Amino acid sequence: MTAKKSAKARKKKLVGGARSTPKRRRTRRKLKIGISCYAHFGGSGVVASELGLELAHRGHEVHLVASHLPFRLRSFQSNIYFHESSPAYYPVFEDAPSNLALAAKMVEVAENYSLDLMHVHYAMPFATSAYLARQIMLPRQLGVVTTLHGTDITVVGAEPAFFRVTRFSIQSSDRVTAVSRFLKERAEETFGITRPIEVIYNFVDPNIFSPRQDGRLRLAGPDTKVLMHASNFRAVKNIPVVIQTFAEVRKRLKAKLVMVGDGPEKAGAEQLARELGVHRDVLFLGNQDCMEELFPLADIFLLPSSTESFGLVALESMSAEVPVITSNAGGLPEVVEHGYTGFLHDPADVDGYVESALKLLTNEPLRRTMGRRGRRVAKERFTAEEMVQQYVQVYESLR
């Protein structure tokens, strides 16, 4: 195969045909868009917040409805407004009805600001609350767009207690999108979804997630390699594999492991690091909202998830020119190409992760080459300009 054909095949593999539709002429009418999402650290909230910022930057009016201000909205920007959804507490309630409070807030914002649509990120409970809000507002029409992000399909929504509600909420949305082909197919298979699901990948701003510019900030000495992992520390992230991989790498070279995030698996990770005798070389930084400053400090990024709908942190790492060693599960092969922008292994393949890590950490030219490739792919295939325009086209199709 020639180099030209190989590049063409690689491009086709990465984009999966999702962007082959010709771009429509951009609308002249600015939209009034409601966005609702989880506000805590996590991919769905990050994507929703970044999308809101991009839409506002393009002149659309964005109203974000959430339990509290999402962490990615760190500074004020015109055209984006925040509305807090707070459940009422009464003695008769054992638990405050937050889903109902969210639906009521959606109605309030939609009516007060004449919203064109409500775009919800994560099926449960946001699509359900949006459906209720739309029914309350009849006969006035409020379009509902639901974006599926991952565990709302693979974990939460698949629970028997939520299965039928999740399926109904997805089927009742006017438009449905998913962040990867894997997630689209899983939703169709698990829930028997018959309505079209459009794949719109997550995106990254390469101007924010960029290679290291200032050498003064470091996480280790100049002769020490830095491995990094960032997640919500849940079982699906395979945290023990990260620690085990580092312990084996540490036997062969001087290294530090930086763990960013928090969650139920963190205490177990700290205990395992002590048991393996590497705890002094593992830094647990907790939740951080400055990942664009941390990624460039790493030599490689580890993400051995047992499943991952897309892997936004992998894309952000690539944008920062940091090679990714990740699992071949879920949508990750749609982001990382094995041997070109990173390495893919089975989720529990510690030996494979160790081999790839050592290959990169002991071969600086290879590590830099793979990092540059990753950034190029991030800039060319996962741009905000293209993905936001696809979302706008979805919005316009409701009119």
pLDDT tens digits along 274-290: 999 999 999 999 998 88
Token pair 């794949």 in the structure block, residue: 199
Buried b (16+ CB within 10 A) or exposed e, 16-47: eebbeeeeeeeeeeebebbbbbbbebbbbbbb
Q: Where are the domains of the chain?
A: 28-202+383-396, 225-381
Quote the pLDDT of residue 215: 62
State the pairing for strand pair 255-260/282-286.
parallel
- What's the CA gap between 226 and 88, in Å, rounded? 47
Is the model's pLDDT at 89 over the cut of 80? Answer: no
Is the model's pLDDT at 181 over the cut of 60? Answer: yes
The answer to whether 283 touches 256, Cβ cutoff 8 Å, is yes
Is the model's pLDDT at 21 over the cut of 90? Answer: no
Task: Convert the pLDDT of each residue in 94-120 to its tens digit.
Answer: 676 788 999 999 999 999 999 999 999
H helix or E strand, kind and range, residue 247: helix 239-250
In the structure, what pLDDT confidence band is assigned to residue 150 with cuts at 50, 70 and 90?
A: confident
Is the model's pLDDT at 216 over the cut of 80? Answer: no
Is the model's pLDDT at 90 over the cut of 50? Answer: yes
225-381 is classed in which CATH architecture?
3-Layer(aba) Sandwich (3.40)
Task: List the strands of the sheet with 61-66, edge to edge.
Answer: 80-84, 61-66, 32-36, 117-121, 143-148, 175-178, 197-199
* Averaged pLDDT, 186-196: 91
At 231, the amino acid letter reads S
Instruction: Please tell me the total number of residues recorded for the chain in this structure.
Output: 399
What letter would DSSP give residue 30? P
pLDDT over 70, % of the chain: 88
DSSP 3-state of 360: helix
DSSP assignment of 82-95, as one string? EEE------TT-SS
Is the model's pLDDT at 10 over the cut of 70? Answer: no
H helix or E strand, kind and range, residue 217: none
CATH topology for the 28-202+383-396 domain: Rossmann fold (3.40.50)
Quote the pLDDT of residue 24: 46
Task: Convert the pLDDT of each residue in 226-276 to its tens digit.
Answer: 999 999 999 999 999 999 999 999 999 999 999 999 999 999 999 999 999
In the structure, what pLDDT confidence band is assigned to residue 28 with cuts at 50, 70 and 90?
A: low
CA distance to 65, 177, 309, per residue, from 98 (Å): 12, 25, 26
State the pairing for strand pair 225-230/300-303.
parallel
At 27, the amino acid letter reads T
Lowest-confidence pick of 10-14, 16-20, 360-364: 16-20
Task: Convert the pLDDT of each residue in 152-177 to its tens digit.
Answer: 787 666 678 888 999 999 999 999 99
* Averaged pLDDT, 61-80: 84
Is the model's pLDDT at 19 over the cut of 50? Answer: no
